[in-house]
Structure 1
Amino acid sequence: MFRLLIALLLFAISLHALSDSKILKRANGFLKSKSKSDQFRAYNDFKNLYLRALMGQNDKLRLNSLEGIVKSGGNLHIDVSQYSDELETTKPKSSYKTSKKNTQSKKNIKVKSSHSLKSIRWKSGKLVMEFDKKLRNNQINYFTLFDSKTKRYKYVFDIHASMLVRSQNLRKDGVDKIKLAQFNPSTLRLVIENREKLKVRFNPQNNQLTINISTIGVQKIKKSTVKTPVRLDRNKVIVIDAGHGGKDPGAVGYKKYREKVVVLQIAQELKDILKSRGFKVYMTRDRDKFVKLSQRTKFANNKNADIFISIHANAVGKKHANKAQGIESYFLSKSRSTRAKKVAEKENMADMSEMDFYGKESFLNTINSHNIVAANKLAIDLQRGALASLNKSYKKVKDAGVREGPFWVLVGAQMPAVLVEVGFISHPTEAKRLVKHKYQKKLALGLANGIERYFKNN
């Protein structure tokens, strides 16, 4: 632990050796890149600049860093809603002012766009865009592009409409990038981008536009990769942590289902799949016993693990039990998100003996950037893998996103560490699924595929 703190101090000193302007310039350079790794570097730089701005009370730097966090976080599908909200309140009022001439011009242009996008969602694997009025064929302009330099295909929909929500990135397993944005005041643009060629079909009917994106060829390639993993991957060491156990039942949800039982069953399924693929796998607990939070990452460090995955199940009170649902993945950070803090408080509750609240807060401050890039990547791959596997057999599996959180069980890990909330054990539908062996196996298979993808790309 002493070596870890020394390493973190050296990392902090190296950051301070660079001026704010140089880091900002570097972050903006990374932000322009199409590489996911560069986007992570940009996100991390902007987060560090944000902390510096708060400490130095530098409003201009704070504004620039918030804009960078929101943009890079959005590109990486990270929940940055709290930063986005802060950005809206931080922007100077002058940035919203327009001349009478410009205001009138914008009003005139908006009139031309007679349709508005009400919602966009995935339904039975198809993307469904719903508008406030019936669409005409001449309102949709579809074309494809191929960039010979980057070897990437782009499928573009220009729709004569406006949207009431902000631009957003959508996700589909097997597709590199899907972005929806307001191209100009009268045109809504949807861009589907991928390394491999896709089969894209669409059908405008009444006030809906349904887009079917076929990735059959891509999935076949991925399946063959999973069956014959790269030799190097077989040497990886993985530690799986089944949350709670023994005297600590974790959450007690629908029909008195206990978190400690469900997560152990999923963890064992995951272990069996990974071992069958040639990985070296250890579990912090393989039976119903209590293990202190601090001992779990210590165990992983002693095993020289390459990654640490802690499996948990979420829960809320009866009043909101029918509403709260979904799978979410967390990586370690001193998050300011209210949602993340509430989840972390529940998971941290089991072991409060070793440090008081202020001691933990101080320690979290020192490791805010530790392994953040790698853990963030791992969390995204685990989330994508789980959802892709479950969506093939189950309807309405909710993606609750990848988030940052101050989870004490991840503190001290000397490798990328992620906590996966596999669902809400308090939600009637999710709870019934979570206790069934078939669902557990599908979920574990998805997590294993996510791990394969992480090692393949990193």
Structure 2
Amino acid sequence: MRLKWLLLSCFSFLLFALPAQAGKLVFWRFESTQNRLTFTTDDRVQPRAQLIPNPTRIVIDLPGIGLGRPGVNQTIGGAIREVRVAQFNAQTARLVIELAPGYTVDPKQVRIRGLSPTQWTVELPTPERVVQQSPPPFPSTPSTPQSSFPDPPTSPSYSNSSLNDPPSDPTPTPEDNTQPSSTPSDFQVTRNGLVVRLDRNGEARKIQVKRSRDRKSINIDLPGARLTSSLAGQTLPVNQYTIGDIKFEQKSNSTARITLNVSDDSPEWQAIYTQGAVVLIPKGGLNNLMGSSSPPPTSTSPAPTSSSPAPTSSSRPPRSSSSVSSTIESVQLFNNNQLVIEADQGIRGSGNWNSRTGEYEIRIVNAQLATRLRGPRLSRNSPIYQLRIRQESPNTAVIFVKPALGIQLGALRQLSNQQLAIDIRPASVSQVPPSVSAPESIPVPPPANPYNPPPTSIPSTPSGNIPQGRTLVVIDPGHGGKDPGAIGIGGLQEKDVILPISQEVAAILQQQGVQAMLTRNSDYFVTLQGRTDMANRAGADLFVSIHANAVAGGRSNINGLEVYYFGNRTLADTIHRNILRSINISDRGVRAARFYVLRTARMPSTLVEVGFVTGSIDNAYLRDPGFRSQMAQAIARGILEYIQRYKL
């Protein structure tokens, strides 16, 4: 008896300890042409939202909502980098819209709207570039020392962890460009490989690399990829990494080809897609090729002379040329409003903006980096987002400064003979679009419901009660292609209304573990026989045909929902009931009919007329993506209830 009591106590404790999740995120979609995120939950939710900088992202939290599946990342492109959906904690699902580097939005212009307690949209204003005035370069003076010999090829970057320089990454970065200025910017030779910008990436698993029999050329075919207009048809010199030149061809609308003309001893090369580009890297890496790309720097230090004093600090590296007269010993941030570069002797520099990377590049000639370079520790709220430094050549050092959003850099100026400085201050409104340097809340008003659904709650359908992967439902968007279906007020066509509804129904079913098949997934024509043949051959468990209604004679007063069946009406009743639970639409009932797709389907079937395109009320609703999405959710919930009840 005592053991039984203990077991019951433990079980009760576990029940109360488990996090309670009221609902699930059943559907989400980002429409890049509208900069709009739409999401649907199966229970009421009041989202919370904020804008977080560095990188700029809109974060939407859904309290009491779970995913019930792994998180998802969707790459968008352009000013919107990606959309992420994940479980933030046990009680909260999180959606994140991350902007591309260099873009921001005004959080006051982000509009979050509840079409219903379970259907929400997030509308972004057009993202704007963070545009800052380019400070003029520090004017050179006659006393500025000049190199007495041509600069050698670019050497690898010098990194210092105290400068928050990221670790070496196999993906080349834009600032590593070493090709002549006449080369198109869409092609770069970097210290980690070759970068080719693309108008469109292809499929990574279909990349084909083939070397000629004489080993002097390597063809890299990229199915599905498209070259930029500045590269197509070009042959450009490389003369590095055992490559003589590189040729770009757009073989067809769906295949791009890159040809490397190489030496006999060149290694095999591989291609890897990154965002908006393909990176070409030799197998085994570039370290073994560095010796053939550029002469090694001299390792001997010239004897001290009166014009070239011997180093007195143990922190200085050996001089590689008698023309190098200074060692950069520190880069420090003072009071978050001034960046100071200090050397052991006189230095001169020039600064220019790189509009592509959003970095201010400070070039200092006749200087080397100290072995133990002192740099600032950049905090989360630092006015500098990233600071990097490298020894570009034996006598030239370059410092890259990327300001945080809303920060303006002043012109590079001579603070003293041994110091260069940049003033840092908040940017004026005229120079950058509104931005934030700390998270800022985005208001989310309570949901309005333009369709006035009844206040009754809709029971959720636990995915755990759905037979995973066994049930197949065929969703049939009627008409299509040459057959527009009914044409209503303002030219609204039936085929355009029902396709997005059908696609969303299928997506919700898939997310709940039910297999879904569409008889058409875009605007093309399918015969009536072809629709039911598809379902019958696939051995579908259910067939749901979706249509929009019409009536002749200008009778715009006729509006409402109709659901049809042939034989057994249970499926029709279940879907009909779920629609009326969540949408206040005129009810024209469940009716028997001998429609071809119903009487020839060999499984339970129904035909849903979601409203009248000719009706003055329904027409306005059917034009609204929010209403269509709500209709899709209701139909999907009816299907899931039927599957759950009858254990399909």
TM range (shorter): 0.3 to 0.5
Determine which structure has more spread, i.e. the larger CA radius of gyration.
2
Highest RCO, 1 vs 2 (Cα 8 Å, sep ≥ 6): 1
Name the TM-score, length of structure 2 as normaliser. Answer: 0.29
